[in-house]
Amino acid sequence: MLKKWTLLWAGLLIYSSLYAQKVEHTTLGDPKAIVYDLGFSKDGSKLATTEGNRINIWALEQQQLIQTLSGHESAVLALAYVNDNMLVSGSKDGQLVLWNTVAGTPQKRVAAHQGPVTAVAVSPDGNFVATAGADHLVKVWNMASGKEETVFKGHTADVTSVAFSKSGDYLISGGGDCQVMVWQLSEKKLYKTLLGHTNWVRSIAMHPDGNTIASSGDDKRTLIWKLQGAEATTPVQEFRKLHTNWITSVDYQTNGSYFVSTGHDNNMTISRADSPENYYYKKYRNTLINHKGYQYAWKAAFQPNSYRVAVATLGGGVMLTDYFQKIYNIPHELIITAINKQQYKEQHYEFKADENVVKIEGEVSRPKMVAGMHLLHGKETIAIDVRRNGKFSVTVNLAANGSDLNFTIIDKDGQINPSGHSIKVHYQK
């Protein structure tokens, strides 16, 4: 019997060493702080975090506190950068504040909600801010005037999350009534309601493609939806088993290849956005935060154009980690922006590289349907050989022709990049 228990104990030790090891990270500020929200500046050089009724701003290269914004009279629950020199925040007492981060002073202050402001989002053009409230309302505010533009009524419980579409034409909200609602901004009306969650919706994220929505919540699931099409009201994809308790946040990496989520189980998970079965990285219980008490991962976000992740915790401060990229040796990936929205006929890739000559590697969907593919690099057209598995590679000289790349796929029926095709690319130095 003793031998049996010895073997069992040895097995547990081996399991612990494999799955419960500490993960490299930097803690910013108070390691026991309660942090409800965080957000990166547009250029990714700064990180703003909440702490009580203050907002801390960190320089990421030096990982140092460079500014503290004081002016809220209650706990700050939500924030978002408007541009690299301005941010907006909402607090527990219903106040919405627009900050000039150069001067470090409030520029506008609005009594936004009857109750806590639970989430804020800034429109892509920076002209409007949306707020979600515990009063069941979603509001849109004019940034220049500070005046209320629109009030959306429809949720029957606290609204916990809000996000603008990439085009700025729609606003998406989620809340305690288990519903995800899509509002049409120009018509100031409900466009459609997305049904699928069975408990509170805690977080919403827009994919860089502009047509994909991720939502997470207390039913321990992340659901994927399509924005366009009034009939598309049910999820097109579902991620289960990423967390064992409430999922409190979700955020896409800049090019949409991965998303990060946090949960009440104290885990942070990074997942392949195209595969519900394939998730890469999970920090197990009591490794994210290393002290007892009221603490769990509450909010996570990818740094723009990076795989670095910042995590806000309730009782464990702010963590910054590059561990995901290190353990999987992920190359830098190109940032994808469509220049022709109709059926994705072309994809334009923009990126920065430290070397002039880079190797471009990628993969196309439905390779059996590809009749030809070429890359327009400056004025040079390069024919690309697509292998049977859909993978391709090509070397380009950025010094000679610049960094703008345009890939074109010719389908076997002669069409150019029909909507059924997608391209994933990355470069290696």
Q: Which of 25-29, 95-99, 358-362, 367-371 has the highest mean pLDDT?
A: 95-99
Q: What structural domains does the chain harbor? A: 23-328 (2.130.10.10), 335-428 (2.60.120)
DSSP letter at 369? Answer: G
Q: pLDDT tens for residues 298-350?
A: 999 999 878 889 999 898 889 888 766 655 444 444 333 332 333 333 343 44
For residue 420, what are the CA distances in angstroms to 50, 123, 367, 387? 42, 29, 11, 18
For 233-345, where are the alpha helices, taking DSSP H only?
A: 323-328
User: Quick one: tokens of 311?
Assistant: 């995590």
Say yes or no to pLDDT of 418 above 80.
no
pLDDT mean over 49-65: 94
Instruction: Report the mean per-residue pLDDT for the chain.
Output: 81
Q: By C-alpha distance, which of 50, 119, 69 is closest to 90?
A: 119
pLDDT mean over 412-422: 57
Question: What confidence score (pLDDT) does residue 116 get?
Answer: 98
pLDDT mean over 12-32: 59
- The phi and psi torsions of 5 (rounded to 5 degrees) equal -70, -35
Question: What confidence score (pLDDT) does residue 377 get?
Answer: 77
Asked if 313 and 264 count as a contact pair (C-beta separation under 8 A), the reply is no
Residues in contact with 250: Cβ distance below 8 Å, sequence separation at least 6, in sequence order = 203, 204, 205, 214, 215, 216, 222, 259, 260, 261
- The phi and psi torsions of 8 (rounded to 5 degrees) equal -65, -45
User: Which of 232 and 230 is assigned the larger pLDDT?
Assistant: 232
User: Can you tell me the distance from the alpha carbon of 8 to that of 425, in angstroms, rounded to the nearest whole number?
Assistant: 46
Question: What confidence score (pLDDT) does residue 325 get?
Answer: 60
Residues in contact with 180: Cβ distance below 8 Å, sequence separation at least 6, in sequence order = 172, 173, 174, 193, 194, 196, 197, 201, 204, 213, 215, 225
Say yes or no to pLDDT of 255 above 80.
no
Strand ordering across the sheet containing 117-122: 117-122, 128-133, 137-142, 148-153
- Three-class DSSP category at 367: helix
- How many CA atoms are closer than 13 Å to the CA of 146, on its beta-carbon side? 13
User: Which of 304 and 161 is assigned the larger pLDDT?
Assistant: 161
User: Can you tell me the distance from the alpha carbon of 42 to that of 83, in angstroms, rounded to the nearest whole number?
Assistant: 6
User: Which of 41 and 358 is assigned the larger pLDDT?
Assistant: 41
- The phi and psi torsions of 300 (rounded to 5 degrees) equal -135, 150
- Three-class DSSP category at 154: coil
User: Quick one: tokens of 51?
Assistant: 């702490």
Strand ordering across the sheet containing 189-194: 159-164, 170-175, 180-184, 189-194
**Nearest 10 degrees: Cα torsion 16, 242, 43, 161:** -130
- Three-class DSSP category at 324: helix
Interior/surface letters 398-410, b for 16+ CB within 10 angstroms, e for the rest: beeeebebebbbe
User: Quick one: tokens of 322?
Assistant: 């590059």
To the nearest 5 percent, what fractions of the chain are helix, strand and coil?
10, 50, 45
H/E segment holding residue 258: strand 258-263
Say yes or no to pLDDT of 6 above 90.
no
Q: Which of 175-179, 274-278, 360-364 has the highest mean pLDDT?
A: 175-179
User: Can you tell me the distance from the alpha carbon of 42 to that of 46, in angstroms, rounded to the nearest whole number?
Assistant: 8
Say yes or no to pLDDT of 397 above 60.
yes
* Overall size of the chain counted in residues: 429
Question: What confidence score (pLDDT) does residue 232 get?
Answer: 80
User: Can you tell me the distance from the alpha carbon of 88 to that of 404, in angstroms, rounded to the nearest whole number?
Assistant: 33
Say yes or no to pLDDT of 167 above 60.
yes
